[in-house]
Structure 1
Amino acid sequence: MSWLVTGGAGYIGAHIVRALSAAGLSPVVLDDLSSGHEGFVPDGVPFVRGSILDRDLVEQTLRENGVTGVIHVAGYKYAGVSVKRPLHTYAQNVEGTRVVLEAMAAAGVANIVFSSSAAVYGTPDVALVTEDLPKRPASPYGESKLIGEWLIRDQAVATAESDAPLRHTSLRYFNVVGSGDPTVYDTSPHNLFPLVFEALIDGRTPKIFGDDYDTPDGTNVRDYVHVADIAAAHVVAAQRLEGGEPIEPAYNLGSQNGLSVKQIMDAMARVTAVDFTPEVSARRPGDPDRIVATGDLAARDLDWANRFTVDEMVRTGWEARRRAAE
């Protein structure tokens, strides 16, 4: 069994590649390196540099590597920036997903795990988000992920009576942090953990983007989930699809216990032993007040669990980033 990981040279994708290899599922990586790093791809894993928008390349990669399923991680993942770059976001995330599905159909590949996002829910008005909650994305990024889910759903309907009906699931996850491999770390210029780490390494004061949210301490509240747990859930989803086992169309990979940005900052100071008081800046557009989700369905079907404390999330991420700086 061979699985193509689009975006497999990125932070999350590279962890999924390692988890696939550990499970005996042969990964293949397709990545244009716009935000990924070739050095994150393990030795011996086939790597194709190119864009998911290149239909011929995607189909060729599927055929030449005997791919039986796709884990579609590639995409433009910055909710705040997507407000300023909606057309780019839709091109990468909507058209990119359409092209991947088209290439899969041409190559006879009928399994896909889609990396979706909690951003499809927008700002929920419930304490805990469940999969059937109405979808009200608050940014072009969230909208593009929801459209991606629709594309996959519609293609499954269209192929239901064919020789290769599309089997699929979408994993909606939240703030992915930490590191499961000391050689791989989050290099995003927009995510909270790397922003704090870079500031501490440079001797700058970390920033909090907004302290006037409708939350107990004024900073927004999120699920924070460890990247190794995220990768493991993708592998189990791939195995269920490959084995023809029942699977839901979507799962929340949530912690059920939200943490505020201030609580994260406190853990950062505690674990890194760098004493600091964060600087407060203006809110970023597209950031909701609170999103916390259950992971009950994923726990039932995908062996989903939160196996790391907040201090372990910080510690593993900090150690990987410091190693890269050495």
Structure 2
Amino acid sequence: MSWLVTGGAGYIGAHIVRALADAGLNSVVIDDLSSGHASFVPDGVPFVQGSILDGELVERTLREHEVVGVIHLAGFKYAGVSVQRPLHTYAQNVEGTRVLLAAMQAAEVANLVFSSSAAVYGTPDVPLVTEDLPKRPASPYGESKLIGEWIIRDQAIATAASAHALRYTALRYFNVVGSGDPSVYDSSPHNLFPLVFEALLAGNTPRINGDDYDTPDGTNVRDYVHVADIAAAHVAAAQRLLANRPIEPAYNLGSQNGLSVREIMNAMARVTGIDFTPDIAPRRPGDPDRIVATGELAARDLDWKNRYTVDEMVRTGWEARRAATPGR
């Protein structure tokens, strides 16, 4: 028996594969390597290179590896770029999820953990985001994740009376950082941590987009959560589904308090030993002062908690990034 991890060669997916192994669960990875790395898949874990849009490939993988559940991460994850590439975003995230669900139904696989996003909330005007907050996604990426949740919900309703009724949950989270394994790092060209790391490695000065927000230090506040904690929550959700225990349709994996961009920059200088004063750039349009989610439901059901300090988030991410380029 195995769990299929779609997008398992990516930064978050590769951590989930390792967390499954730590929990004594087998996994198989499918990934088209559009943003993942084959080297991130641990030795001994079956790796199928291909797209979740290939229904025959997905169904064959489910059957051949005796898959009992799917942890679904594969998709196009760049919210800003999705505005310029909406059709690509919907094809990967919406059609990809539909194809996956059809393959699961054909192969009689009935457990699904959907890696969703806090982007489904858009830019809420409340200080603390809860799961029942109205959904107002502000990008095609956020919309595609919300549609994915709807499709999964509808399939669960449609199969409720069948012998293989779909059971699922969606995990929503904001900024994933750090590393739980020195061989796996965040290679995204859009996320704050890798942007700062790349600037420091190149001898450049990182920048802050706006320092006049209505926050204690003037920079916007966001949820930053360690990738190992995110991976652990996905595995806990998978185990809960496998045990047929009650589970919510969605959970926020939030920090409750958040961190400001300046706090992140200070930690970067402190941990790396590279003293710098970040450049201040103009605000990005539409950036709210503060978006932080509560993780109370996930703490109750999935043992969710923040186990890492900001310095540990930076240290583990920095060590993994430097390990990818020896000598730097």
TM-score (norm 1): 0.97
Alignment check: 8 A CA contact 1:4 1:30 kept: yes
Shift of the alpha carbon at 1:209?
2.9
Shift of the alpha carbon at 1:287?
4.4
Please name the residue that 2:267 is paired with.
267
Please name the residue that 2:205 is paired with.
205
Partner letter of residue 89 of structure 2? T
SS at match of 1:169: strand
Q: Does 1:160 align with 2:160?
A: yes
Partner letter of residue 263 of structure 1? E
Alignment check: 8 A CA contact 1:53 1:92 kept: yes
Partner letter of residue 226 of structure 2? H
CA distance in 2, matches of 1:115, 1:150: 13
Structure-to-structure mapping, 1:62-211, within 5 angstroms:
62-211=62-211
Please name the residue that 1:28 is paired with.
28
Shift of the alpha carbon at 1:46?
0.2
Partner letter of residue 206 of structure 1? P
Q: Number of residue pairs matched?
A: 326
Change (3 A) 1:289 1:81: farther
CA distance in 2, matches of 1:152, 1:104: 11
CA RMSD of aligned residues (A): 1.2
Please give the per-residue CA displacement for 1:76-130, whole angstroms capped at 9, x wherever unaligned: 1111111121111111111111111111011110000000111111111212111
SS at match of 1:5: strand
CA distance in 2, matches of 1:139, 1:214: 24
CA distance in 2, matches of 1:99, 1:288: 35
CA distance in 1, matches of 2:288, 2:108: 40
List alignment gaps of at least 5 residues for structure 1: none
Answer with 296-305 or 118-127: which moved more. 118-127
Please name the residue that 1:234 is paired with.
234
TM-score (norm 2): 0.97
Alignment check: 8 A CA contact 1:172 1:252 kept: yes
Partner letter of residue 13 of structure 1? G
CA distance in 2, matches of 1:300, 1:105: 30
Alignment check: 8 A CA contact 1:118 1:291 kept: no
Please give the per-residue CA displacement for 1:37-73, whole angstroms capped at 9, x wherever unaligned: 0000000000000011111111111111100100001
Shift of the alpha carbon at 1:288?
4.0
Please name the residue that 1:57 is paired with.
57
Partner letter of residue 47 of structure 1? F
Please give the per-residue CA displacement for 1:152-187, whole angstroms capped at 9, x wherever unaligned: 000000000111000000000110000000110000
CA distance in 1, matches of 2:287, 2:61: 36
CA distance in 2, matches of 1:48, 1:21: 18
User: Percent same amino acid among aligned pairs?
Assistant: 82
CA distance in 2, matches of 1:283, 1:121: 21
Change (3 A) 1:27 1:283: farther
Please name the residue that 2:253 is paired with.
253
SS at match of 2:28: strand
Change (3 A) 1:75 1:301: same
Shift of the alpha carbon at 1:213?
4.0
Alignment check: 8 A CA contact 1:138 1:286 kept: no
SS at match of 2:324: helix
Partner letter of residue 238 of structure 1? A
CA distance in 2, matches of 1:64, 1:290: 46
Please give the per-residue CA displacement for 1:205-232, whole angstroms capped at 9, x wherever unaligned: 1122333444343432111000000000
